[in-house]
Homo-oligomer: A and B are copies of this chain.
């Protein structure tokens, strides 16, 4: 086991009607709130109204920035930060899924500086302080609600990058499974694929960490057992709750303690598909993971088999890979880019952007030959 620091200061409020505590929780941080959300679904499902009513109950002044896209872009981050700077807000309140929360994290460190949030990604500057961040999660998927990571896309440089810093931990996150009832079937499934992929990135990282491996199995089994029935019963509180907590646990560092690093090669490749074709993040992962496992089939057969044994009860790498494919099939997640109408003629385009983004894993490095084989396996 490698040395590690276990630390996660986010306070997670999980369960039915936890939003009733939002006003009281916000109040100690101040009354000028920068509210960040997406493209309006929270107004249709009533979450927006609940949040506003909580903020009104403490006489907060609310500045809104909406329109955050599913693959969030740095232009929105910078514009929202400008709004927050202008009004000298006391805290950032993010209401949405991973895109909204990731954006809000970068907004919270960009407000105190006079530059673009992208400068944190390209390493030009380092954050010294952050505006306090509170989140209300409406989609179980990325785990952003309880971790210090954020992924943002820069269309002008054709980059989509992940980055982490302890200043990015939300102070509080509110997770009411009821707030995910209206997430449609496809995005519910993408969220499940995303949480599975987070477990896999940890598991295929570097270093021996047996308890973290067992936590990976624990979380993945939740997804395997409760994911498929949830897709037929989208307003089932218990199933929503199980998946929501599993998604948080899949990326709150619990699966990482004792490892050198996670791998993140599949995420790195998945970001390229989202960048090029605006493919939902979770779908990019269900497309690439089986292909990546096939690519690694001869290199790490035992590691793949151990995983298969523990989560699917199978005994060899091929059955493990098949089990992943049939699981993704059961939850209607694509395992080929063709599901989005994209064919082999795009291989060169994808290669180019993979090279430009230096797509690779931290542990399992990917060569250009690997890019080519990988694309052949998922296109």
Give A residues with C-beta under 8 Å from B. 1-16, 18, 146, 210-211, 214-215, 217-219, 221-222, 225-226, 238, 241-242, 245-246, 248-249, 254, 257-258
Offer 10 A-B interface pairs, CB within 8 angstroms, sorted by A: A1-B241, A1-B245, A4-B14, A9-B9, A210-B222, A214-B219, A214-B222, A241-B258, A245-B257, A254-B254
Given known contacts A210-B222, A219-B211, is B15 in contact with A11 (CB within 8 Å)? no
A201 CB, nearest partner CB in chain B, Å: 18
In the complex, the chain B residue whose C-beta lies closest to that of A173 is B6
Q: How far is the CA of A258 from the CA of B222 in the complex (A)?
A: 14
Q: How far is the CA of A10 from the CA of B18 in the complex (A)?
A: 24
Q: Of the candidates B8, B211, B245, which one forms a contact with A8 in the assembled complex, judged by CB atoms under 8 Å apart? A: B8
Let me know if B1 and A12 touch, CB within 8 A.
Answer: no
In the complex, the chain B residue whose C-beta lies closest to that of A8 is B8
In the complex, the chain B residue whose C-beta lies closest to that of A209 is B245
Q: Which residues of B contact A5 (CB under 8 A)?
A: 11-14
Let me know if A6 and B12 touch, CB within 8 A.
Answer: yes
Q: Which residues of B contact A222 (CB under 8 A)?
A: 210-211, 214
Q: Which residues of B contact A4 (CB under 8 A)?
A: 14-15
Let me know if A245 and B211 touch, CB within 8 A.
Answer: yes
A266 CB, nearest partner CB in chain B, Å: 23
In the complex, the chain B residue whose C-beta lies closest to that of A248 is B6
A218 CB, nearest partner CB in chain B, Å: 3
Name 5 extra pairs, CB < 8 A, besides A6-B11, A6-B14, A211-B249: A1-B245, A5-B11, A5-B14, A214-B222, A254-B254
Q: Of the candidates B15, B146, B215, B245, which one forms a contact with A218 in the assembled complex, judged by CB atoms under 8 Å apart? A: B215
Let me know if A7 and B16 touch, CB within 8 A.
Answer: no
Q: Which residues of B contact A8 (CB under 8 A)?
A: 8
In the complex, the chain B residue whose C-beta lies closest to that of A146 is B6
In the complex, the chain B residue whose C-beta lies closest to that of A4 is B14
Q: How far is the CA of A14 from the CA of B4 in the complex (A)?
A: 5
A214 CB, nearest partner CB in chain B, Å: 3
Q: How far is the CA of A17 from the CA of B62 in the complex (A)?
A: 49
Q: How far is the CA of A221 from the CA of B221 in the complex (A)?
A: 16
Q: How far is the CA of A1 from the CA of B3 in the complex (A)?
A: 33
Q: How far is the CA of A56 from the CA of B238 in the complex (A)?
A: 54
10 shortest interchain CB distances as A-B pairs: A3-B15, A214-B218, A6-B12, A7-B11, A1-B241, A218-B218, A4-B14, A211-B222, A9-B9, A215-B218
Let me know if A242 and B15 touch, CB within 8 A.
Answer: no
A16 CB, nearest partner CB in chain B, Å: 6
In the complex, the chain B residue whose C-beta lies closest to that of A214 is B218
Let me know if B3 and A14 touch, CB within 8 A.
Answer: yes
In the complex, the chain B residue whose C-beta lies closest to that of A9 is B9
Let me know if A242 and B211 touch, CB within 8 A.
Answer: yes
In the complex, the chain B residue whose C-beta lies closest to that of A225 is B210
A167 CB, nearest partner CB in chain B, Å: 15
Q: How far is the CA of A15 from the CA of B209 in the complex (A)?
A: 12
Q: How far is the CA of A258 from the CA of B258 in the complex (A)?
A: 26
